[in-house]
Structure 1
Amino acid sequence: MRNISDLIEQYLKQILQTSSAGVVEIQRSDLAEKFSCVPSQINYVISTRFTLEKGYYVESKRGGGGYIRIQRVDLPSLEAVQRHIRQTVGEQIDQSAAEGLVYQLEEARFLTAREANLLRAAISRDVLQLKLPVRDEIRAKLMKAMLVALLAK
C-alpha cells in the first residue's frame, strides 16, 4: 500500500498534467482535509518532492488566504538541457542535487528509467566512498561525462 505522501504527490502531479498552464494553486488546509492529514504533511511533500532540482517552482503564501502555487519547469530543447546541466553541475555537485537533476531529466523524458537508474547507481555516496569535497568533484565529472554521452543520442 502506498503511503499518504505518495498519494498527495500523485494527486498534485495529476492536477499539474491536466492544467493547461502547467500550474496548480491549492490551499494547504483544503488539501490536508482532502487527505485527512495535518497541513505539515502537505508541507513535507511539497518541500521534498516538488523542488527546483526536480523541475518544479513552488511559491507559498502563508496566512488566512494563503496558498501554494506549484509550476512545472519544462526543459524545452536539448540545447537548453545541456546549458541547464552545465549550470547545475558545475565543478562539484552533492548527491541530493545530482539525484534531483537525474529525476528532472527522466521526468522530461531525456533519460529512460534504465539510464536514470544507472546514473543514480554511479553517483551514489555508497559507490563514491571518498571524503568531501573530492566526492562531489568526482560526482560532477561523472555526471557531465555520462550525460553528454547519453544526451548525444
Structure 2
Amino acid sequence: MRNISDIIEQHIKKIMTSSDGGIAEIKRGELADMFNCVPSQINYVISTRFTIEKGYVVESKRGGGGFIRITKVGLELKPTLHRAILDLMGSSLTAKEAEGLIHRLHEESVLTAREARMMRSVVCIDILGLTPATRDQIRANYLSAMLVALLKG
C-alpha cells in the first residue's frame, strides 16, 4: 500500500503532465485539504521529492493568493552539459544529492542503467570511512570525473 507522500507526489506529477509546459501550480492548503493531511506534509513531499537534483525547480509565493509552482526541467544533451552538471554539484556532494543526480541522469537517458549502478557503487554513503566533510568532497570529485569521462565520450 502506498503512503500519503507517494500519493501526493503522484498527484502533483499528474498535474504537471496534464498542464501546458509541464508546470504544476498548487496551493498548499488546498492540497492538504484534498488529501486530509497537514500542510507540512505537502512541504515535506515538495522538499524531498521535487528537488533540483531530481530535475525540478520549485518557486513559491506566500500570502493570501500564494502558490507553489513546480517545473520539471529537462536535460538537453549539449557539449556544455557536463559543465552545467558540475556547476550544480559544486565541490561537495552528500550521498543523497549524488543519488538524486544519478537517478535524474538515468531517468533522462543520459546514463545507462549499468553506468548508473557503477556510479552509485562509487559514491555510496560508506565511501572510504572518512569524515563527512572529506567524504562529501571526495564523492563530488569521483562523480565529476566519471561524468566528464562519460559525457565527453
Superposition TM-score, scaled by structure 2 size:
0.85
Instruction: Tell me which residue corresponds to 2:50.
Output: 50
Q: Which runs of 4+ in 1 moved over 4 A?
A: none
Q: What is the percent sequence identity of the aligned residues?
A: 54
Quick one: distance in 1 between partners of 2:44 and 2:132?
28
Q: Indicate the residue corresponding to 1:40 in structure 2.
A: 40
User: 2-side partners of 1:26 and 1:89: how far apart?
Assistant: 28
Structure 1 residues 22 and 35 mapped into 2: Cα distance closer, same or farther (>3 Å)?
same
RMSD: 2.1
1:118 aligns with 118
- Distance, in Å, in 1 between the alignment partners of 2:76 and 2:31 is 30
Counterparts in 2 of 1:22 and 1:63: CA distance versus 1, 3 Å? same
Letter of the structure 1 residue corresponding to residue 33 of structure 2: E
The answer as to 2:64 corresponding to 1:64 is yes
Alpha-carbon distance change, 7 to 77 in structure 1, aligned in 2, over 3 angstroms: same
Could you tell me how far apart the structure 1 residues matched to 2:113 and 2:18 are?
23
Deviation at 1:2, TM superposition (A): 1.1
Task: Assess, with a 3 A threshold, how the Cα gap between structure 1 residues 128 and 12 changes in structure 2: closer, same or farther.
Answer: farther
Match of 2:142 in 1: 142
User: 2:136, 2:90 → 1: CA distance?
Assistant: 10
Structure 1 gap segments, 5+ residues each = none
Question: Normalized against structure 1, the TM-score is what?
Answer: 0.85
Give the deviation of 1:114 after TM superposition: 4.3
Structure 2: 5+ residue runs without aligned partners? none
Please name the residue that 1:25 is paired with.
Answer: 25
Structure 1 residues 119-140: Cα deviation after superposition (integer angstroms, max 9, x where no partner): 2232122233212432123212
Q: Is the 8 A contact 1:106 1:112 kept in 2?
A: yes
Paired residue secondary structure (1:78): coil
